[in-house]
Homo-oligomer: A and B are copies of this chain.
Amino acid sequence: MSESPITIFIVDDHKLFSSSLKGLVSSFSNFKVSEVFNDGDEIVSFLEDKNSVPDVVLLDVKMKRMGGIETCGWLKKNFPTIKVLALSMEEDEEIVIGMLRAGAKGYLLKDINPGVLEHAINEVYKNGFYYTEEVTNTLLNSSENGSLKNNVVLKERELEFLKLTVSERTYKEIANVMCLSPKTVENYRESLFEKLEVKTRIGLVLYAIKEKIVIL
């Protein structure tokens, strides 16, 4: 029952890559690569001129003039029905997060197998999104940087204190909440400073967030 094909735009400033990608994607059944752009600017002016609108855009992340995130944000804002699949060489956390926040419906590394790309395009078209395990893990682990004292076991009361520290409370206020004297609270602070190898409250806050002791 051969439906109308999924129309695809490709945006990538490596012409060799984009043209070979066009060939590859066109070879998949039911896909039609209508346009190929070398830059974010190009697809923007193309769409501004009220030309045809694609179902899916394969968007390179790192482009010289108008970058991937910016382009993605523009597409999201002006053509929210378009599903953007981000394509990237590396898996830079900031960029992954940036692209997804900008509205990308998926994030693929360029070293994937053709079959995965085909699957991803179909998924993003049908279900509206396609997230690989790697990307999700990147999001999850985007907190395991820094040299965190990871092998530290925090006790219940310490966790309580830590959670309260991650808020605009003074130690006096924390003491009230925890039903302790301010001085005892300071003891917790001091022992945590040592345990977690930090020097200020800010350090505690960063630790708590990185370790997902508190979720923002």
A→B interface (CB under 8 Å) = 93-94, 97-98, 100-101, 105, 119, 127-129, 131-133, 136, 139-140, 142-143, 145-146, 165-168, 198-203, 205-206, 209-210, 212, 215-216
Contact = CB atoms under 8 A, between A and B. Distances in A.
Given A202-B202, A205-B202, A206-B166, A94 B133 contact: no
A60 to B, nearest CB: 21
Nearest to A92: B215
Residue with the highest number of chain B CB atoms closer than 10 Å, among A133, A146, A165: A133
Copies in the complex: 2
A97 B202 contact: no
B166 A215 contact: no
A159 to B, nearest CB: 13
Given A100-B140, A131-B136, A168-B200, A209 B209 contact: yes
The 3 A-B residue pairs whose C-beta atoms are closest, nearest first, are A129-B133, A168-B200, A131-B131
A22 B206 CA distance: 44
A142 B210 contact: no
